[in-house]
Amino acid sequence: MRSVIAFTAFAALLVAFSCNDSSLSVGQDNAEATIASETGTPAPLPNDVIYSSRALISGKLYARPSFDGTVLAHFDTSQQLHIIDTAGDIFVKVRLLHDTSSQTGYIPRAILPEQGQP
């Protein structure tokens, strides 16, 4: 009988330690985003982002600030764009967010709404 109890206790400890995976726990880095999603408020923007917007029309994300540049991705008006740099006259540097992936490149300034631009 003692061996059954000891084995059960050992199995319980083994299960408890194997379930203690630090990758499953929510860290402090995600605390603000978690609170935002639970309260319905927008998640805070990363430090390198000037503002967030959606394009007025669908377009292309270019690898360099040129219409002749390599097209990295196509986007539509439903995708969120994080504006990173607005120093260029024709192009702005953006991070395109789509599902769980993101790509950084350039889009024409003209397809962004005027609101929020510095």
Determine which helix (DSSP H) or strand (DSSP E) holds 37, and give its type and residue range. Answer: helix 31-39
Q: Are 21 and 27 in contact (CB under 8 A)?
A: no
pTM score > 0.75 for this model?
no
pLDDT in tens, 50-104: 888 899 999 999 999 999 999 999 999 989 899 999 888 899 999 998 778 889 9
For domain 51-111, which architecture applies? Roll (2.30)
Q: Which of 5-9, 21-25, 75-79, 109-113 has the lowest mean pLDDT?
A: 21-25
Round to whole Å and give the CA distance between 32 and 107.
29
Q: Where are the domains of the chain?
A: 2-39, 51-111
Round to whole Å and give the CA distance between 11 and 18.
11
Largest CA distance in the chain: 81
Q: Is 76 helix (H, G, I), strand (E, B) or coil?
A: coil
Tell me which amino acid residue 15 is: V
